[in-house]
Amino acid sequence: MDTRSVIVREARKWIGTPYHNCADVRGVGVDCGMLLVRVYVDLGLTAQFDPRPYSADWHLHRSDERYLGFVDERATEVPRPESGDICVFRWGRCYSHGGIVSNVEPLTIIHAFQPSRVVVEDPVWTHPDLSNSKRRVRFFSVVRKEDN
């Protein structure tokens, strides 16, 4: 199985896990940032790190690109996503929401989404807040060409 399929398979194991800020226990609680950490770190695709602590509403009061920074330090920005890549959305004052691409057309992601209260896999267009062009979505990949 290729790396991209392994990433998506691992992310899907988290579907239904309740949304809980700063948590990272499958079936118990996770947020969108820690979902990315658990999938990519646990698969050995990035070195161990922990971006916590952070408040649940940090993105509404701060402009520093903390979330974007931890993604950018570990992945390469790409113009078009493939399955297994990361997408990040500008939410509040900075990039502060992300998910794992499971399908490109339509763009479908696996993400711990606070409004849904659980980890879900769904097309971005089903969420007007995410599909809003003001969100300025960006894509990143940790998959090296030789791992495709």
- DSSP bridge pairs for 119: 112
pLDDT per position as a tens digit, 93-128: 778 889 999 999 999 999 999 889 999 999 999 988
Reduced to 3 states (helix: H, G, I; strand: E, B; else coil), residue 111 is: strand
**What residues pair up with 95 in beta bridges, in sequence order?**
90
Q: Where are the alpha helices (DSSP H) in the chain?
A: 3-12, 32-42, 58-61, 66-72, 128-131
Supply 53's token pair.
Answer: 């602590």
Q: In what order do the strands lie in the sheet with 86-91?
A: 76-78, 138-141, 86-91, 94-103, 108-113, 118-123
Model pTM? 0.91
pLDDT tens across 2-32, in order? 999 999 999 999 999 999 999 999 999 999 9
Closest alpha carbon to 67 in 38, 100, 91: 91
Report whether 139 contacts 80 (CB < 8 A): yes
Strand pairing category for 76-78 and 86-91: unpaired
Mention the CATH class of domain 3-147. Answer: alpha beta
